[in-house]
Structure 1
Amino acid sequence: MRTFRSRTTLLAATGAAVFALSLTGCGGGDSDTKSAGSTGSERTVSVGGAKADRSTADGSTADGSTADGSSGQAAKGGAGAKATVAAGGSGAAAAAPACTTKDVSISAARHGGPPYTHIVLTAKNTSGHSCEMTGFPEIQFLESHKQNVPAVAKSKPTSPVVLKAGAPAYALVKVSDGGVDEKNEPVSGFSVTLQGGGGMAAVTAPGSGGIAVDPAKALTGFWTYELRNGADDF
C-alpha cells in the first residue's frame, strides 16, 4: 500500500509539472508573438522615418510629391529657375566694361593728302583687360565752340566694338571742306570725351602747324575696328 501511494503521488507531481511547463510554453509563444509584432512595428516606423528624412533632404517623397503637397516637377522647376539666374549673373559679370581714358591712349593723324580735310583718331587699349568703345568720340575743337562735333549715323557699326588688350579702334573725323573761303581756325589740340562715362582726354593735333577746322563743317564717325569704305565716307 505504501508503494502504491508513493507512485500515485509521484505521478500527480509529474502531471502538475508537465501542465505547468505547457502553460509556460504557451505564455512564451504569446510573448514571442508580441515581440515580433513590436519589432515589425519598429521596422515600419524606422522605414517611415527614413522616408521622412529623405523627404526633408531633397524636398520630395518617393512618389514625387514634396512635403507640402506640391509636385516634384515644381521643385525641379524652382531649381532650374535658380540655375538660370546664376547663369544670367555670370553672363552680366563677364561683359566688357566701357573703355575709359585710363584704358586707352588716343592719338590723331592726318587722313589723305592735301587739302587735308579729315583726320583719324586712334584709341589703343593699353590696359591689361578688354573694354568696349562706346558710341562715338565727343569732340570739341575750339574754346569758342563748346558744342560737340555731330556724329554721322551711317558710320555706326552693327555690333559693339570690344577691344582686347593692345587692340586699336578708329574714328574718322572731318574738319573742313578744304575750300579757301571757309571760316577755318587753326587748332593745335582738342578734347575727346569717351561716352559711357569714360572721361575726357586732351589730344594733340597732327602736323607742326596743327589743323584747320571749320566748326560748321566738322563731323565725326563712330568708333570702329577699321575704317570702312562707304560707311566712313563723309
Structure 2
Amino acid sequence: MNRRFARAFAFAALAAAVPTPALAQHGALWVDDYGRMMTIEFAGVDDALPAPADRAPAEMAATFKRLCVETGAELAAIDSAASAAGLEAVPVQVPAAKKAPAATLGVWRASGLVVSQTGGGTVPQPKQCNAAFYVASLPDRPAVDEAMTAAFGPPANAAEAVRKGKPNRNYKPGWTVTGADGSPWTIAAFVVADSRYTPGNRVQISIRAAKKKAN
C-alpha cells in the first residue's frame, strides 16, 4: 500500500472500525496535515465512484487550477466555478463529534471528476481543495509532473530530486503558490492505480494551506 496514502475513519461511532476499501463521499478524496492522501468514511453517505473519463494531464492541471487555485479554495467561489463548469453540488453534512464541531464538506461531481473542499478545523484538518480525476487509463507520472510544472512553475522541492548525485527514488514533486493573504499554499499530485484499497484509477491534485512551523 502506498505509504503516502492514509485512510481516515471519521467519527468512530458512525464509521466501520475495520479495514475497508478506500471509498468516500461520492468518490471525494482529501489530504492530511502532511499532504498524504486520505478518505473519510462514515455511515449513511453514498460512496459510489463516478464513471471514469480519460483526460490529458494538461486538462487535469488546468481544471484543478480553475476550480481550486483561482478560487482561493473558498467554498462559495468553488461552488460558482463548479456550477459554471457543469459540476453537480453534493455537499456532505458531517455530524458533530467529541472533538470536532458539525461541518459541511463541499463536494462537486461530474463525469470522471470529484472536487472536494473544506475550510479546515475539522476532519480533514487543513483548509484544502482537491480534484480527483477518475480515468480508465492512467497517464504516466512524468506527463502529470510536466503538466503541473507548466501550470505552476518548477517544483518548490526540485533540489530533492537528486540525492548524493543519484536520482532520489522517493522524490515526490510539490509546488507552492501564494494565497491572496500572502500565505503559502502547497500543491501535490498523486497518480494511483486501481487496487483493493484504492478502487478506480485516479489522479488526485490537491492544494492545502501550508503546515505552520512550530515556534
Report the TM range for the smaller structure's normalisation: under 0.3
Higher relative contact order (CA 8 A, sep 6+): 2
TM-score (norm 2): 0.19
Q: Structure 1-normalised TM-score? A: 0.18
Q: Which has the higher helix share?
A: 1
